Amino acid sequence: MIKVSIFYLNGEGKTFDMDYYCNKHIPLVKTNTGEALKKVDVEQGLAGLAPGAKPDYIAAAHLYFDSVESFQSSFGPHIPAFTADVPNFTNISPVGQINEVKM
């Protein structure tokens, strides 16, 4: 199993519409990746580790697939549509990482 994590870095002037993300963008991803997408977790940053610290990330999404190949073949063809939707919910350029789930 692999986990594709997409992070939205917090900062001055950064905006993020969680309602749109959860109710429009994630369903777009689910529809286009089909059964290849096994699970999605969406998280909203609350705070940093130090008392009173702001979260490093406003939001993160974690998408689970059986393999890198499954991710690439289901997600890759739709990247233009996913990217085109980003301005509808944020002014942040997302960053991503692919991880192998060990536990």
pLDDT by position in tens, the chain (length 103) = 999 999 999 999 999 999 999 999 999 999 999 999 999 999 999 999 999 999 999 999 999 999 999 999 999 999 999 999 999 999 999 999 999 999 9
Beta strands in the chain, from DSSP E residues, in sequence order:
2-9, 39-44, 57-65, 95-100
The architecture of the domain spanning 2-100 is 2-Layer Sandwich (3.30)
pLDDT at 31: 98
pLDDT at 39: 98
- The Cα diameter of the chain in Å comes to 43
The residues spanned by each domain of the chain are 2-100
Angle between helical axes of 26-33 and 68-75 (0-180°, round to 10): 110
